[in-house]
Structures are given as C-alpha cells and as structure tokens.
Amino acid sequence: MSDNGTAISVKGISKRFGEECVLKNVSRDFERGKIHGIVGNNGSGKTVLMKCICGFLIPDGGEVIVEGKRIGKEADFPDDLGVIIETPGFLSHVSARKNLEILASLNKKISGKEIEEAIARVGLDPKLTKPVGKYSLGMRQRLGIAQAIMEDPSILILDEPFNGLDKHSVSDMRKLIRELKNAGKTILLASHNQTDIDELCDTVCEMDAGVMTLIR
C-alpha cells in the first residue's frame, strides 16, 4: 500500500490505436476510500483508461501506479483489485457458483463460503443450479458484480456495472456500492446514468476525446 492517501495515480498516460489517439496525456490521482465517477460519451476513452489501470492495456506513454506499484513494470496487474469491464464473460453451461469457483481457483484466496456470500450479496441464489447461459442480462450483470467483490478487494473498477438491471435491481446495487465505500473500498465508477453519478460519487471526471477534466 502506498503511504499517502492516493490509491491510484495516473501520470500523463497516452494510448494510440493506429492513427487514433484514444488517451491524451491523462493525469489524475484517485483518493483512497472514495467513489470516483468517470463520465463521457462512448468512445471518449473511459474504458481504455480503466483497462490501462487494470493492466489489460499498456499505455504508450506515462505510467499508472496502483497502491505504490507501477503497472506493467513492478506488477503486471494490481494485486488487490476487483473489476467489471464491458459485458462479463462466463461459461454458459455451468452454474453461477461453478463459474466463480473456477475464477477463484486462479488466486486461491477464498473458499466456497465467500463465493456463496458474494452471490447472495448481489441478490442471486447461490444454490441455483441453472446454467448461466439461461440467465437474463440483469442476472449475468449481478454475477459480474459478485465476481468483482468476491475476494474482498480494496479497489473496484466498475465500467457501467448497472447495465441490463431493472429499476429495483439498480437501487439494490447502488446500496451495495455505498456499503463497499463505507467498508473503505476505493471505487472507480463509469456510468451513463447521471443519477448513479449524482448519488454515489465523491468526485467526477469527464472524458472527452481522450482528455480528462475534473468537473466535481
């Protein structure tokens, strides 16, 4: 853990895909224990920024530091991070629990008890044997959130986490996000829903054509 209040530090990062510059000298420190909103139109660079923070993409310039470690140099991926980016991908022929057991086996941090608790926490039944391929979009989205939180990470990167959820489910997941913040988590949240941003976020940055601006 870094010795100041910053969980994530993005320092002058740029990213190109061919001739297109998707991130342009983006710099921002994200304070630990807060919810940081990122808004912007499709193609503005939000998801690419999040992928760079997670180590899924390496910037062409600048650096990303997560809890004191330079991503891509001192660590390939942040150690203590939960993520949901784009539509969660799961094995369609097995249950929710089996999917999470397979993912949890990679890090060997948690047991079946924590997996069941994570599934229940997002409003799904951990005993349900129905294959995930028969889940609705909203159920798969809830399962994606369960996967992100199951290892109790200190940092969460959530890119449009409420996609496909009905009004009641969105309310439930907003409550969960607040609980996670109150437990000391640092959360980066991208959402097209202004209510999500207004109700949940301590700070808000806007991405526009690869440029980040602090708006709150």
Tell me: do 76 and 158 sit in the same domain: yes
Q: Is the dihedral of CA 38, 85, 32, 8 positive or negative?
A: negative
Q: Is the pLDDT of residue 205 over 80?
A: yes
Going along 32-175, which residue ranges are E strands? 35-39, 61-66, 69-70, 81-84, 155-159
Answer with the residue of higher pLDDT: 174 or 1: 174
Q: Is the pLDDT of residue 58 over 70?
A: yes
Average pLDDT over residues 189-201: 94
Average pLDDT over residues 8-29: 96
- The single residue listed with the structure tokens 């990679």 is 106
Q: Which residue, of 116, 134, 152, is where some domain finishes?
A: 152
Structural domain count of the chain: 2
- Token pair of 21 as six digits: 């510059």
- Round to whole Å and give the CA distance between 11 and 65: 8
Tell me: do 76 and 122 sit in the same domain: no
Q: What is the pLDDT of residue 89?
A: 83
Q: Which residue, of 115, 132, 152, is where some domain finishes?
A: 152
Predicted structure pTM score: 0.94
Average pLDDT over residues 53-79: 95
Q: Is the dihedral of CA 66, 76, 17, 11 positive or negative?
A: positive
Tell me: do 76 and 8 sit in the same domain: yes
Tell me: do 204 and 97 sit in the same domain: no
Tell me: do 138 and 182 sit in the same domain: no
Average pLDDT over residues 30-44: 95
Tell me: do 164 and 126 sit in the same domain: no
Q: What is the pLDDT of residue 129?
A: 95
Each residue of 100-136: pLDDT tens digit? 999 999 888 999 999 999 999 999 999 999 999 999 9
- Token pair of 169 as six digits: 């489910």
Average pLDDT over residues 74-81: 92
CB neighbour burial string for 128-151, b if at least 16 within 10 angstroms, e if fewer: eeebbeebeebbbbbbbbbbbbbb
Identity (one letter) of the amino acid at 94?
V
By the 8 A CB rule, do 57 and 65 touch?
no
Q: Is the pLDDT of residue 82 over 60?
A: yes
The pair phi, psi for residue 180, each rounded to 5°, is -65, -40
Tell me: do 167 and 212 sit in the same domain: yes
Each residue of 148-185: pLDDT tens digit? 999 999 999 999 999 889 999 999 999 999 999 999 99
Q: What is the CATH number of the domain that holds 208?
A: 3.40.50.300
Q: Which residue, of 97, 127, 152, is where some domain finishes?
A: 152
Tell me: do 6 and 100 sit in the same domain: no
Average pLDDT over residues 200-206: 97
Q: Is the pLDDT of residue 87 over 90?
A: no
- Round to whole Å and give the CA distance between 190 and 188: 7
Tell me: do 26 and 112 sit in the same domain: no
Tell me: do 14 and 114 sit in the same domain: no
Tell me: do 141 and 210 sit in the same domain: no
Tell me: do 75 and 1 sit in the same domain: yes
Q: What is the pLDDT of residue 3?
A: 55
Q: What is the pLDDT of residue 4?
A: 77
Could you list the residue range(s) of the whole structural domain that residue 143 is in?
89-152
Q: What is the pLDDT of residue 164?
A: 87
